[in-house]
């Protein structure tokens, strides 16, 4: 049963009204918040959902097994996905591996889930840094392994940085090729029905 009830609305005079709305400040906050949320959705949420959805739907173990032994995908593509993932996980562009790697994996038509799993290799970072620097010093033939921080010159910083970057790149290429070969070999043995 609906009944009409009389109400009274009080509208104060213009001089007496109080507003907590601050146009510039409030619009700025909303714009910044909207921008941050769109960037998070575009660079984190959507790629994560696109790549990890098959693993979530079937469970991690079963989903990963079906991805590895999918008869519609060649062994070469799966091995290349793992090798490229390991390469991007080690190459010295920290913070940008997935930002560079996911579009590259899409362009190369690689398995995106395998790429992300392989790119997140959990080797303790100082080990990768030390191996990168050691590779670079070996490639440049630099016998000087100690860094004298008290008498450090800008030329030495640039030289060590170059050795580190080149060494890390070479190390990532070698690790990617090794993991590609290992994955190809293991999948060739354990999945003989798959296309080579």
pLDDT the model gives residue 80:
93
Q: How far apart are alpha carbons 71 and 151 in whole angstroms?
A: 60
* Whole-prediction pTM: 0.62
pLDDT the model gives residue 56:
75
pLDDT the model gives residue 193:
55
Query: Which residues have CB under 8 Å from 109's CB, separation 6+?
Result: 77
* DSSP codes, the chain: -------------TTT------HHHHHHHHHHHHHHHHHHIIIIIHHHHHHHHHHHHH-HHHHHHHHHT-TTS-HHHHHHHHHHHHHHHHSS-TT-HHHHHHHHHHHTT--HHHHHHHHT----HHHHHHHHHHHHHHHHT-------STT--HHHHHHHHHHHHHHHHHHHHHHHHHHHHHHHHHHHHH-TTS--
pLDDT the model gives residue 70:
66
Q: Which residue ranges of the chain lie beneath pLDDT 50?
A: 194
Q: How far apart are alpha carbons 38 and 44 in whole angstroms?
A: 10
The vertex-113 CA angle with 109 and 115, nearest 5°, equals: 70
The vertex-71 CA angle with 174 and 110, nearest 5°, equals: 40
Query: Which residues have CB under 8 Å from 92's CB, separation 6+?
Result: 132, 164, 165, 168, 169, 172
pLDDT in tens, 60-88: 777 777 766 666 788 899 899 999 999 99
């Amino acid at each position: 049963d609906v009944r009409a009830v009389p109400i009274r609305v009080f509208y104060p005079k213009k001089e007496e009204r109080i507003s907590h709305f601050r146009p510039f400040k409030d619009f700025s906050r909303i714009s910044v918040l909207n921008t941050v949320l769109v960037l998070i959705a575009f660079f984190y949420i959507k790629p994560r959902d696109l790549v990890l959805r098959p693993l979530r739907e079937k469970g991690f173990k079963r989903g990963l097994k079906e991805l590895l032994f999918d008869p519609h995908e060649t062994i070469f593509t799966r091995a290349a996905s793992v090798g490229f993932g390991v390469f991007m996980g080690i190459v010295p562009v920290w913070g940008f591996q997935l930002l560079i790697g996911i579009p590259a994996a899409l362009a190369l038509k690689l398995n995106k889930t395998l790429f992300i799993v392989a790119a997140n290799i959990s080797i303790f970072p100082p080990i990768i840094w030390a191996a990168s620097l050691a590779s670079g010093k070996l490639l440049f033939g630099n016998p000087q392994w100690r860094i004298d921080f008290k008498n450090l010159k800008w030329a030495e910083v640039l030289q060590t940085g170059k050795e580190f970057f080149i060494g890390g790149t070479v190390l990532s290429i070698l690790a990617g090729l090794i993991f590609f070969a290992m994955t190809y070999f293991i999948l060739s043995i354990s999945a003989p029905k798959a296309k080579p």
